[in-house]
Amino acid sequence: MFLECFGILLLTIAAGTILSQIPGLNYGWTNIFYQECGNIAVKPIMEGSQSNNIAIRLMVPFFFLALAFVLPFLARIEENIFRKGSQYSWLAIIKQSIIFGLFHCIVGISIAFGLALSIPGFFYGFKYKKHFDRNEEILDYSLAEEEAILVSTTYHTMYNMIAVILLIIIAITMI
């Protein structure tokens, strides 16, 4: 699971970087406040890692550690919104994956990275459908759906945790 999620994260970063080269896609609403767009919750924290105040710089890794405790709950909410009920067709999964990626633009990431986040969205949708289809034969639709949501949430949480660990490493190296 770790290697799958790590690979998807690297693919997402590569896709976002490539898409950022297309004019107009490297824009997010946080460009109003910052020269470069980014997640409005993370951007000020990362800038804090460059502060002259050592106390502020030391708080940065603790913010990410606290965030790590919230990630499973956020992943579960997103999986319920974007995966639940999309087990019927690949077209529905593709559509929900694109919406999932662009939904993240709300926090200020660029359109390019919003589109790139469709990749993990599709990956979670694939895991959801695979496990739903495997359990559909038990003739308990709600149980099959619940297990599929649990699987996609687990992968989503793993992906997010890898991303947060990378952010913690970046933040610590900036201290």
- For residue range 5-61, list pLDDT tens digits in order: 999 999 999 999 999 999 999 988 888 887 777 777 776 776 777 777 777 777 777
The helix (H) or strand (E) run that includes residue 77 is: helix 54-82
pLDDT score of 175 more than 60: no
- Its pTM stands at 0.86
- Angle (CA) 85 86 89, round 5°: 135
Chain position carrying tokens 């149980």: 143
**Separation CA 58–CA 78 (nearest Å):** 30
Query: Which residue, 17, 148, 34, 32, is CA-closest to 80?
Result: 148
